[in-house]
């Protein structure tokens, strides 16, 4: 996908097209007022106050038609510089422009406007020369947006669009958009019955349906078994905690904006937990430990809650309630390197088996100039950051440094994946922490009998299982591998009267071998049931007719294939066993 913000010429073109949109809207809705119309990574948008009028999808075609007329007029786009006082007078009837002008720095004594025909807008520019250069555009979607992003303000109408220098580039981009829509996990999640959202339950609070719970369990069992083999001990902790717990950890001072409001019950104050480290610190501190016990690897598939603004929510990729595949490794200074290498090795092993190929490593460091965001201890930060750099260099993985992206208590390694749809995001992380063990007064008894403070590695292979499911749906277009699919095998009898008994025997055999099977014995045409099996993206569809019944055979098709394979039942079972392993596709 093209990045409209970063490509200079494309940026100018799309910002100019935002003005073309505003001009057309003003023609159709004379009372319209405009907030801002910036270029974003996927094109441009303009936030508009239309009073009582509401733009629908049906209105988009009318706006596009008016935009084409404005572009065809080929009006020159002329820059004009005016004083702040002149600007306040010129836009005195527009509270949105007045707000923008009033908040400009006093140094901005000269303000620029751009005029195209009968439309003038406040803008820094630059713009293209004439409206004719804006003819290759498309309005892509509409949504609501609070003025200034504040839910206490008025809801404006936001119209998105894209513009390209040529029709060929526009058409190619629109094809990419259609492909992206077909991969969008929100659409696939609905079509395949993976999850649902309900405003009555709450925005950003997904509920997993039976099919989605199967996918969830497959991923959860996969990573838990990996961790058990590597010596992790799993625990279960409550999804809320006393406010004092988070004051002790420092999250209350540094992370409170991302938490839900506290609750008061019987004189105690509680908060829904946004992370699990304070709970795991308390579990470690429950016992006395010797250096011989370390490393101790505590793991949990844990439900957490963080407050995300409604505008940032996106399906199950960005939610307010999510489940982390979380762990905290308590170790000595001497064990940091081997334990960190072990985490990176586990990440790479999982990515290899799951087919995750497009990713990069980022070393997130603190901004030493930021005296608010980070725990203030220069010696601790220097020690942690230098240790992490050395480990990464020794491992030999390429990485880029990101100043200001560290957690408040320590630096971290983030693994950024590039999904099939949308922008890259962090899927895995490993953080080195000298801070929290001291805050909780955690110790172990060293060889000489003295008490030492352990180091903690915070790590998550799946930053959240929710986000991993979203990634997998989009990456595979919903064509999930056999081991993860809600229904693995769909059995269809050609004729219920003659073939159903044999199908039931096959069904029972598969169920006894722990496969998830559907027997489609509805009185529908074979072609209809075959087509529906493809729509549901079931990996294996079995067709049973006379030849299969008489020969004790199985005929099957894999999803997306028109080829039919006929095999003995034993051969079919061997085929399923091979396909049902992680990384088989």
* Chain segment 435-458, per-residue pLDDT in tens: 899 999 999 999 999 999 999 999
Least confident among 12-21, 111-120, 381-390:
381-390
Look at residue 27 in the predicted model and tell me its pLDDT: 96
Task: Map tokens 């908060």 to a residue.
Answer: 271
Rounded to an integer, what distance in angstroms lies between the CA atom of residue 407 and that of residue 296?
22
Three-state DSSP state, 388: helix
Q: How many CB atoms lie within 10 A of CB 453?
A: 15
pLDDT digits (tens, 9 = 90+) for 209-226: 999 999 999 999 999 999
CATH 3.20.20.140 fits 199-239+273-476, yes or no: no
Beta bridge partners of 161: 44, 139
Q: Check pLDDT > 80 for residue 422.
A: no
pLDDT digits (tens, 9 = 90+) for 396-411: 888 888 887 777 777 8
* Residue whose C-alpha is closest to residue 22's, from 161, 164, 172, 220: 161
Can you give the residue ranges of every domain in the chain? 8-183, 199-239+273-476, 489-579
CATH of domain 489-579: 3.40.50.800
C-beta separation of 46 from 36 below 8 A = yes
Beta bridge partners of 327: 299, 459
Rounded to an integer, what distance in angstroms lies between the CA atom of residue 282 and that of residue 543?
56
Look at residue 292 in the predicted model and tell me its pLDDT: 96
Alpha helices in 209-335 (DSSP H): 210-229, 243-249, 251-254, 277-285
Q: Check pLDDT > 80 for residue 412.
A: yes
Going by pLDDT thresholds of 50, 70 and 90, the confidence category of residue 526 is very high
pLDDT digits (tens, 9 = 90+) for 142-172: 988 889 888 888 999 999 999 999 999 999 9
Look at residue 93 in the predicted model and tell me its pLDDT: 87
Q: What is the mean pLDDT of the chain?
A: 91
pLDDT digits (tens, 9 = 90+) for 9-26: 999 999 999 999 999 999
* Residue whose C-alpha is closest to residue 336's, from 405, 428, 430: 430
Mean pLDDT of 362-387: 76
Alpha helices in 401-461 (DSSP H): 436-439
Multiple choice CATH, 8-183, 3.40.50.1260, 3.90.226.10, 3.30.980.10, 1.10.10.10 = 3.30.980.10
pLDDT digits (tens, 9 = 90+) for 264-323: 999 999 999 999 999 999 999 999 999 999 999 999 999 999 998 887 889 999 999 999
> Which active-site residues does the annotation give?
277, 306, 324, 326, 328, 412, 458
Mean pLDDT of 358-365: 88
Rounded to an integer, what distance in angstroms lies between the CA atom of residue 408 and that of residue 386?
17
Displacement of CA 359 from its chain's centroid (Å) = 14
Q: Check pLDDT > 70 for residue 43.
A: yes
- To which H or E segment does residue 234 belong? strand 233-234
| % of residues, the chain, pLDDT over 70 | 97
Q: How many CB atoms lie within 10 A of CB 579?
A: 16
Rounded to an integer, what distance in angstroms lies between the CA atom of residue 88 and that of residue 101?
7
Rounded to an integer, what distance in angstroms lies between the CA atom of residue 317 and that of residue 465?
9
Mean pLDDT of 526-555: 95
Mean pLDDT of 546-554: 95
């Amino acid at each position: 996908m093209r990045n409209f913000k970063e490509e200079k010429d494309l940026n100018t073109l799309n910002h100019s097209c935002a003005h073309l949109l505003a001009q057309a809207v003003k023609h159709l809705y004379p009372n319209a007022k405009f907030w801002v119309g910036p270029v974003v990574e996927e094109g441009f948008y303009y936030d508009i106050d239309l009073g009582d009028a509401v733009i629908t999808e049906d209105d988009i075609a009318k706006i596009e038609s008016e935009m084409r007329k404005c572009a065809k007029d080929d009006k020159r786009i002329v820059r004009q510089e005016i004083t702040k006082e002149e600007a306040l007078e010129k836009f005195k009837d527009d509270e949105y422009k007045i707000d923008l002008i009033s908040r400009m720095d006093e140094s901005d004594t000269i303000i620029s406007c751009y005029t195209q025909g009968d439309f003038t807008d406040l803008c820094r520019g630059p713009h293209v020369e004439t409206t004719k250069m804006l003819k290759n555009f498309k309005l892509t979607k509409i949504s609501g947006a609070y003025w200034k992003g504040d839910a206490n303000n008025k809801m404006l109408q936001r119209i998105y669009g894209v513009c390209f220098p040529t029709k060929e580039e526009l058409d190619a981009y629109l094809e990419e958009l259609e492909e992206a829509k077909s991969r969008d996990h929100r659409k696939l999640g609905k079509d395949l019955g993976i999850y649902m959202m309900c405003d009555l339950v709450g925005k950003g609070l997904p509920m997993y349906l039976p099919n989605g719970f199967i996918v969830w369990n497959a991923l959860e069992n996969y990573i838990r078994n990996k961790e058990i083999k590597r010596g992790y001990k799993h625990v279960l902790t409550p999804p809320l905690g006393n406010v004092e717990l988070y004051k002790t950890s420092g999250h209350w001072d540094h992370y409170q904006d991302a938490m839900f409001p506290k609750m008061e019950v019987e004189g105690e104050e509680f908060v829904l937990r946004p992370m699990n480290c304070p709970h795991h610190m308390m579990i470690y501190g429950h016992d006395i430990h010797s250096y011989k016990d370390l490393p101790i690897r505590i793991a949990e598939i844990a439900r957490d809650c963080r407050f995300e603004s409604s505008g940032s929510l996106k399906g199950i990729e960005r939610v307010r309630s999510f489940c982390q595949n979380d762990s905290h490794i308590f170790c000595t200074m001497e064990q940091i390197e081997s334990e960190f290498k072990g985490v990176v090795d586990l990440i790479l092993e999982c990515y290899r088996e799951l087919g995750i190929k497009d990713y990069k490593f980022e070393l997130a460091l603190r901004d030493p100039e930021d005296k608010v965001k980070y725990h203030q201890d220069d010696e601790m930060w220097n020690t942690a950051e230098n240790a992490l750099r050395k480990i990464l260099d020794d491992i030999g993985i390429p990485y880029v440094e990101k100043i200001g992206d560290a957690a408040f208590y320590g630096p971290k390694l983030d693994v950024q994946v590039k999904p099939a749809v949308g922008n890259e995001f962090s899927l895995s992380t490993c953080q080195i922490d000298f801070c929290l063990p001291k805050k909780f007064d955690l110790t172990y008894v060293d060889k000489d009998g003295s008490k030492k403070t352990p180091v903690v590695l915070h790590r998550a292979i799946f930053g959240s299982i929710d986000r991993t499911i979203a990634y997998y749906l989009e990456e595979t277009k919903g064509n999930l591998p056999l081991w993860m699919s809600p229904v693995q095998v769909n059995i269809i009898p050609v004729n219920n009267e003659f073939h159903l008994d044999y199908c039931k025997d096959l069904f029972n055999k598969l169920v006894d071998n722990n496969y998830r099977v559907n027997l489609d014995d509805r009185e529908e045409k074979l072609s209809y049931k075959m087509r529906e099996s493809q729509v549901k993206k079931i990996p294996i569809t079995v067709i049973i007719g006379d030849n299969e019944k008489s020969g004790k055979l199985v005929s099957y098709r894999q999803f997306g294939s028109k080829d039919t394979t006929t095999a003995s039942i034993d051969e079919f079972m061997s085929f399923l066993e091979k396909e049902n392993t992680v990384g088989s596709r």
